[in-house]
Amino acid sequence: MILEVEVLLSESRKPKILIVDDIPENVELIEAYLSAEPYDIITASSGKEAIQKLKEEKIDIILLDVLMPEMSGYDVCKIVKSDPETQFIPVLMLTALFDIEDRIKGIEAGADDFLTKPINRLELKPRVKSLLRVKCLHDQLVADRDCLEIKNRVQSILTAIIPTLLRVVSNEEKKVIINQMTGMVEKTLLDMYHLENRELDFAYAGKICAEILNQLGGSFSSEVGEKESSWIVRGTKCPWRGEEARKNPILCTLTRKIISNISLKVDSNFSVEALKTIGNRNDCCEFLIKST
């Protein structure tokens, strides 16, 4: 997925750029070159100060001078790239060195890009934007991964609790719980999938049904039905903790309602019939989606 990074950056917090150079005039020049952009500029006059600023600030990119006293840019880059907390921050090395050996040394230290001094304004701005785009995409992937991990943990907890919960409540309470859960699943589906009306699209309905039940922990597939204008959703593993489902056949009602609601969102003329269910001691679950 391609993100419009410029829009994303403008709508969120300003990207923080750390400029590291022991010569104040160089820092001022780079700040001036980038002043027209929506950046938050942080500066450091030494390698040690740069490391400290990384601990204090959420930096998005480092513009790093190579030749500095006490701690060189190479040393700073190695520290940045060896720390799991900072290793994905792009480092743009600023150097007056031209030899290929110097560039190789920078690559070995973990530098992501290079600019040769004196810095050219027209070259600096697109390089910075390009590296910020990479950082933005990486941050989005990490956020998506963390969100997915949390979602999976919550689903695991819920699928473990639901059978026990339903075992101890009355039939009327079970109906209420199942209706509430079905509504929550339906809202999630509307957010995740654009379930716009797709006239007589059995394959689409079956695919989405199987996918959702698999996300809940089941093992479902879909295939064309034997009868005309029909589709089968078949499961060999119940999303509600298998053996527990055999003790609580009402869980099959939840599965059927989920499939029914998905199918109706695809086409209001669809109906669902339960042919087999694990809760009724069948070897699998089998639901028939058909046109009314």
DSSP for residue 217: T
Residue 47 CA neighbour count, 13 Å, CB half: 17
Give dist(CA 268, CA 43) in Å, integer.
61
Question: What is the CATH T-level fold of the domain 171-291, as seen in this structure?
Answer: Muramoyl-pentapeptide Carboxypeptidase; domain 2 (3.30.1380)
What's the pLDDT tens digit per position in 84-135?
889 999 999 998 876 788 888 888 999 999 998 888 989 999 999 999 988 8
CATH T-level assignment (fold) for domain 5-141: Rossmann fold (3.40.50)
- Residue 198 CA: distances (Å) to CA of 169, 194, 264, 287: 38, 10, 10, 20
What's the confidence (pLDDT) of residue 78? 94
| Global confidence as pTM | 0.52
Q: Can you read off the two tokens belonging to residue 141?
A: 């992937």
3: its two tokens: 């993100």
pLDDT digits (tens, 9 = 90+) for 49-63: 999 999 999 999 999
| Residue-range domain boundaries for the chain | 5-141, 171-291
Strands (E), the chain: 16-20, 40-44, 61-65, 91-95, 113-116, 219-224, 230-237, 270-276, 285-291
